[in-house]
Amino acid sequence: MAKTPKYVYFFGKGKAEGTAEMKGLLGGKGANLAEMTNIGLPVPPGFTISTELCTYFYKHGKTYPKSLTKDVETALAKVEKAMGAKFGDAKNPLLVSVRSGARASMPGMMDTVLNLGLNNVTLEGLIKKTNNERFVYDSYRRFVQMYGDVVLGLKPVHKDDIDPFEAIIEQKKKEREVHFDTELTADDLKDLVVRFKHAVKEHTGSDFPEDPMDQLWGAIGAVFGSWMNDRAIAYRELYDIPASWGTAVNVQTMVFGNMGEDSGTGVGFTRDPATGENIFYGEYLMNAQGEDVVAGIRTPLPISRMAEQNARIYAHLEKIRKTLEQHYHEMMDIEFTIQQGTLYMLQCRVGKRTAFAEIKIAVDMAQDKLISDEEALLRIQPDQLNQLLRPIFDLKEKEAAVKSGRLLAKGLNAGPGAATGRVVFNAHDAEAWAKRGEHVILTRIETSPEDIRGMSAAEGILTARGGMTSHAALVARQMGKVCVAGCDALDIDYNSHTMRVSGKEIKEGDWISVDGSTGEVISGKVNTRPSEVLQVLVDKTLDPKDAPVYQEFEKIMKWADKYRRLKIRTNADQPDQAANAVAFGAQGIGLCRTEHMFFGEGKIGPMREMILADAVEERKAALARLLPLQRKDFEGIFEAMNGRPVTIRTIDPPLHEFLPHEEAAQRELAQQMGITYEKVKQRVDSLHEFNPMLGFRGCRLGVVYPEITEMQSRAIFEAAAEVKKRGIPVEPEVMIPLVGNVIELQNQEQIVRSVAEEVMKEQGVKFPYLVGTMIEIPRGAITADEIARVAEFFSFGTNDLTQTTLGVSRDDAGRFLIPYVEKDIYAKDPFEVIDRTGVGALMKIAVEKGRSVRPGLKLGICGEHGGDPSSIEFCHMIGLNYVSCSPFRVPIARLAAARAALTHDGAAGKRAGSKHAKRSSKKKTARKR
């Protein structure tokens, strides 16, 4: 017979059966309660029913295994023993909380029930024991309310509907003419309980359960049942959480923050979750229980106040903060409760934070040797670096706006960055407006999980209620959104789509600006300015010494460069772009698209003439006029790159892309060229292609019109010679696009090499150069061994390679791409993230075949994927030498490349990697033919 698995895990009195590693089994909350117990923190004893039981529950028609009753009773007895109290006891009753807890935190799940175990009997016992009638009735009314809401289903489905219990409380407060719950007396609360129970009876037709065991099983069942409720399912879908994970249930001894002014409850972070600063960050309320802190009923106090009001507890919290960080090596998010001067820990987990904070915390922790620099790199998601590059408000403009009275209010700085947009008051509008291309600020009294899509569509989020731990703040941090939360000066009216703030009325559609770094809300637009990193590196208007954010950035880049094996190049066709990329750390140009140059100053005219030429001689004449112009472009680029390799692709797009298609423009061109309009029109029409992507483009142009390749090669090499003569080293790499057949490449290569020889002779200088190809059609990849006999380098053109491998035109894929991703036919948009199994397999073949005939073959990627972290990881895995991406993604690529090396090369791999790097730099001139 199969042994029944262990379903129930005890924690308490310094020892737990679980550990932090057991999140899959115990859920996040249960695993960390166990861990905190084991490291000696004051955790009220309890037990966790594992997620395996949830799985069992749904596998067996929502029933429990027979053994569970006994296991729960045994665990409960252990808790009773630890506490010296008894569940349901008339004299010394034990009360517990029942808390859900999945592997990942899930707002869709059942809410916690506190004070469970209270009934008319235990109530009396507790009053006698504590001599505090008000506290006991406060606990009881909370229990009946929570149990009624979440277990008995009285909680309204729509969040805008009023909770029946809250309505009763409001009524009572009105009758008693008081403002706060805390002003209600024991008798008031007693009366509330009666009215609550009445509401329960009315709603469910049954009496509120009196037997503590019934209460307990009811709550346990509600937790497991909530795993499959609509909200939980919707949340799992949105965040890709598998239904098979299941939830755990935690049953834990109650500690009471509502026992008077020497009691309280709070939440905190071991560092500031918005800025990452190494300070204790939190909020608390005295004489309060559970979610009072985050519910916005009373405004919580900042934790710094506790240092003044209760130094002893504060010191204890500080000590725990250190212990937690030393133990977890992470910034933690904690819940605590103080019961009559004694501190208890109720939850800890790794804290959510902004990308700013993530980066600062990782860097600080690595510097303090709390973690290694490798670990720091692995913690920072490459895309998070975007946040350091994101715009901030122009300080002068903001100051001027504030001075002129446009500062509306100040809230909490919950999500740093600057956002300007038009006000909308619900998530639906935010989505709809953003779809139309509007920039919007989603403005809500508070947000809830239903608002997630709207939050994601907005530039910024602004809420009237809620603290740093409110839903809006948490989600904004996760999404990297600008957010100002808890701005209670806002008086929002959803019905009229307006809000009043500091005597002004703001209507839907009005512009406002929110500063998520300071909490300021300003009316009208405020222009933004480049980030510190850009000001230091690109604009060179800021001294690094005055730029703390830049300094962090610099450290990360230094560490990344230590570990990465991939080189990072950039896609750039202009000297200024190239210079920016170098400032960001680019080590070369991986793709210079010459066709972009043809649209520059004075070039499009001769270009068009060249295309429309009837005869070779005419074409050559036009090309001769293009030559000096193009040479000048290349000189600028070589100079900016100062000896770094520059890969220049010969002309690639179909020619009609350069021609005017409107009649007026065609007439103008005819006049310029001194030919008839009809002739121009007829020539343009004749260049029309049904499927230009698969048409007369790439090396096919150069094969049919060799004089184009000749001119372009000449421009490249004359520029190289000129720059070299000025004492600047050059390293041109001429790249032939769209090669599928080695003979095509040979044909072009001969032209390139003979021009190179000629130019060197004419100019009397020598310079190194390479001739290579793009691998961007399947035949090129499959015959890579043949191609590598000619090509000195390959650069994967993964945009075209994806189109041709999948047989999908990127420009026409819009209609089905999203449904395909939704239906998991494509895991991700294959134009964003390399399709490893398909396109990636072709790349692997090309790498292996290419290196089999030319071991020193230089391999890179220049498709859009070169800036995507997952694709970069793949490029590392298949052994490319470099990736090339747009200038602004260079820092992201540096980090992604380091993470790939750290993830995939062990210590041995790292050594091999550096050897490999040496070899490839030595081989540069090897030209095996």
Distance of closest approach, residue 323 Cβ to ligand ADP, in angstroms: 19
How many Å apart are CA 479 and CA 417, to the nearest integer? 12
Of 521, 535, 511, whose CA–CA distance to 392 is shortest?
535
Q: Which does 290 bind (CB under 5 to 8 A by kind): ligand ADP, Mg ion, none?
A: ligand ADP
In angstroms, the CA 737 to CA 834 distance is 20
Within its chain, how far is the Cα of 245 from the centroid? 23
Q: Are 850 and 788 in contact (CB under 8 A)?
A: yes
Asked whether position 347 contacts ligand ADP by CB under 6 A, the answer is yes
Q: Which of 290, 421, 530, 887 binds ligand ADP (CB under 6 A)?
A: 290
The torsion angles phi and psi of 336, rounded to 5 degrees, stand at: -140, 160
Closest approach of Cβ 25 to ligand ADP, in Å? Answer: 18
Give the nearer residue to Mg ion in terms of CB position, either 258 or 347.
347
Asked whether position 335 contacts ligand ADP by CB under 6 A, the answer is: yes
**Residues 66, 67, 72: CA angle, nearest 5 degrees:** 120
Residue in 51, 139, 226, 252 binding ligand ADP, rule: CB under 6 A: 252
Binding flag, residue 264, ligand ADP (CB under 6 A) = no
Site string for Mg ion, 404-443 (x = CB under 5 A): ----------------------------------------
- List, in sequence order, every residue forming a beta bridge with 281; answer none if it has no partner: 269
Nearer to ligand ADP, 259 or 371 (CB): 259
Measured from the CB atom, the residue of 98 and 720 that comes closer to ligand ADP is 98
Is the CB of 267 or the CB of 817 nearer to ligand ADP?
267
- The residues near 585 (Cβ < 8 Å, ≥ 6 apart) are 557, 561, 568, 890, 891, 894
Which lies closer to ligand ADP via its Cβ, residue 114 or residue 355? Answer: 114
| Residue 435 neighbours by CB under 8 Å, 6+ apart | 457
Among 38, 112, 287, 748, binds ligand ADP (CB under 6 A): 112
Instruction: Decide: is 291 part of the binding site for ligand ADP (CB under 6 A).
Output: yes
Q: From Mg ion, ligand ADP, none, which one binds at residue 797 (CB under 5 to 8 Å depending on kind)?
A: Mg ion
- Is 292 among the residues that bind Mg ion (CB under 5 A)? no
Between 289 and 354, CB nearer to ligand ADP: 289
Distances (CA, A) of 3 to 7, 51, 790: 12, 17, 66
- The pairing of strands 46-49 and 247-253 is antiparallel
Tokens of 563: 């570990």
Distance in Å, CB of 308 to ligand ADP, minimum: 23
471 is catalytic: yes
Q: Is 333 in the site for Mg ion (CB under 5 A)?
A: no
Quote the Cα angle for 422-425-426, to 5°: 120
The partner in contact with residue 798, picked from Mg ion, ligand ADP, none with C-beta cut-offs of 5 to 8 angstroms by kind, is none
Which of Mg ion, ligand ADP, none has residue 99 at its interface (CB below 5 to 8 Å by kind)? ligand ADP
Closest approach of ligand ADP to the CB of residue 265, in Å: 6
Distance CA 498, CA 316 (A): 46
252 vs 650, beta carbon nearer ligand ADP: 252
C-alpha distances (whole Å) from 170 to each of 163, 167, 480, 501, 657 are 11, 5, 37, 26, 70
Q: Which is nearer to ligand ADP, 263 or 713 (CB)?
A: 263
355 makes contact, choosing from Mg ion, ligand ADP, none, with CB < 5 to 8 Å by partner type, with none
User: In this chain, which of 97, 287, 802, 804 binds ligand ADP, going by CB under 6 A?
Assistant: 97
Select from 532, 776, 864, 873 the one that contacts Mg ion (CB under 5 A): 776
Q: 890-904 vs 548-563: helix axis angle to the nearest 10?
A: 40
| Shortest-Cβ-distance residue relative to Mg ion | 800
Residue closer to ligand ADP, measured from CB, 306 or 745:
306
Among candidates 477, 303, 276, 267, which has minimal Cα distance to 365?
276
Sign of the alpha-carbon torsion through 265, 270, 271, 273: negative
Number of residues that bind Mg ion (CB under 5 A): 4
Compare residues 114 and 784 and give the one whose CB is closer to ligand ADP: 114
Measured at the CA of 774, the angle between CA 771 and CA 780, to 5 degrees, comes to 110
347 touching Mg ion, by CB under 5 A: yes
DSSP 144-158: HHHIIIIIS--S-SS
User: Cβ distance 763 to 750 under 8 Å?
Assistant: no
**Range 867-871, long-range pairs (CB < 8 A, 24+ positions):** 867/892, 867/893, 868/832, 868/833, 868/834, 869/381, 869/382, 869/383, 869/893, 869/895, 869/896, 869/899, 870/828, 870/833, 870/834, 871/798, 871/833, 871/834
The active-site residue out of 862, 875, 876, 885 is 862
Give the integer Cα–Cα distance in Å for 574 and 572.
6
Question: Based on CB atoms, which residue is closest to ligand ADP, 291 or 595?
Answer: 291
- Only one of the segments 223-231, 249-257, 422-430, 590-598 lies at the binding site for ligand ADP (rule: CB under 6 A); that segment is 249-257
Binding window for ligand ADP (CB under 6 A); candidates: 180-188, 250-258, 590-598, 706-714: 250-258
- State the number of CA atoms in the 13 A half-sphere of 264 facing the CB: 19
DSSP label at 433?
H
Minimum distance from residue 65 beta carbon to ligand ADP (Å): 25
What string marks each residue from 11 to 50 as x (binds ligand ADP by CB under 6 A) or -? ---------------------------------x------
Residue with tokens 């010494």: 545
Angle between helices 890-904 and 907-923 (to 10 degrees): 130
Q: Is 515 helix (H, G, I), strand (E, B) or coil?
A: strand
Q: What are phi and psi of 441, to 5 degrees?
A: -110, 115
Instruction: Please report which helix (H) or strand (E) contains residue 441, including its range.
Output: strand 440-444
Give the C-alpha separation, 500 to 497, whole Å. 10
Smallest gap from residue 369 Cβ to Mg ion (A): 31
Of residues 451 and 718, the one with the C-beta less far from ligand ADP = 451
Report the SS3 class of residue 802: helix
Q: How many residues bind ligand ADP (CB under 6 A)?
A: 15
Q: What is the 3-state secondary structure (H, E, C) of 667-721?
A: HHHHHHHCCCHHHHHHHHHHCCCCCHHHCCCCHHHHHHCHHHHHHHHHHHHHHHH
Site string for ligand ADP, 200-239 (x = CB under 6 A): ----------------------------------------
Q: What does 291 bind: ligand ADP, Mg ion, none (CB cut-off 5 to 8 Å by kind)?
A: ligand ADP
> Binders of ligand ADP among 435-494, rule CB under 6 A?
none
* Interface with ligand ADP, residue 566, by CB under 6 A: no
CB of 347 to ligand ADP, least distance (A): 5
Tell me whether residue 862 is one of the annotated catalytic residues.
Answer: yes
Q: Does residue 224 contact residue 81 with C-beta atoms inside 8 Å? A: no
Segment contacting ligand ADP (CB under 6 A): 148-156, 251-259, 425-433, 814-822? 251-259
Report the residue number, 347 or 384, with the smaller CB distance to Mg ion.
347
From 71, 138, 800, 905, residue interacting with Mg ion (rule: CB under 5 A): 800
Scanning 253-261, 533-541, 555-563, 793-801 for contacts with Mg ion by CB under 5 A, the matching segment is 793-801
Catalytic residue, candidates 471, 656, 865, 876: 471
Could you tell me the smallest distance in angstroms from the CB atom of residue 531 to Mg ion? 32
114 binds ligand ADP (CB under 6 A): yes
- Distance, in Å, from the CA atom of 686 to the CA atom of 654, rounded to the nearest integer, reads 12
Asked whether position 523 contacts Mg ion by CB under 5 A, the answer is: no
Q: Summarize as ranges the residues that interact with Mg ion (CB under 5 A).
A: 347, 776, 797, 800
**Site residues for ligand ADP per CB under 6 A:** 44, 97, 99, 112, 114, 252-255, 290-291, 335, 337, 346-347
Active site residues: 471, 862
